[in-house]
């Protein structure tokens, strides 16, 4: 029988995402079959979210806006995961 250890989420990256709406602090976690992206909510600012999909894929907690997506949701091409994360981060901004 195959034993797989360490299937929990692990942080693979963190830093600032820059776009036309300013900068946001993000963290990226990975597991065996999915990714989780967290965008830090800026206190005392108004949060805006424009979702590209009809179902609202965001989970809003006290300090973070979170989105989870499976590896199979992203095409298997170079830089596809980075492009997907970039597009999702552009959908959230603060004023």
Looking at residue 5, its pLDDT comes to 66
Looking at residue 21, its pLDDT comes to 87
> Could you read off the pLDDT of 35-84 as tens digits, one per residue?
999 999 999 999 998 876 677 788 999 999 999 988 888 888 888 889 98
Pull the structure tokens for residue 59: 């989970």
Pull the structure tokens for residue 12: 């693979």
Total structural domains in the chain? 1
Q: Regarding predicted confidence, which is higher, 33 or 6?
A: 33
pLDDT at 11 over 70: yes
CA–CA separation, 39 and 41 (whole Å):
6
pLDDT at 17 over 90: yes
Pull the structure tokens for residue 53: 């999909």
Boundaries of domain holding 82: 10-94
What is the total residue count of the chain?
95
> Could you read off the pLDDT of 19-28 as tens digits, one per residue?
998 899 999 9
Q: Is residue 69 part of a domain?
A: yes
């Amino acid at each position: 029988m195959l034993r797989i250890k360490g299937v929990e989420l692990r942080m693979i990256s963190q830093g600032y995402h820059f776009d036309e709406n300013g900068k946001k602090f993000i963290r990226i976690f990975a597991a065996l079959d999915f990714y989780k992206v967290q965008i830090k909510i800026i206190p005392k600012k108004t949060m805006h979210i424009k979702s590209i999909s009809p179902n609202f894929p965001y989970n809003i907690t006290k300090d973070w806006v979170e989105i989870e997506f499976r590896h199979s949701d992203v095409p298997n091409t170079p830089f596809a995961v980075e492009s997907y994360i970039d597009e999702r981060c552009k959908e959230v901004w603060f004023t």
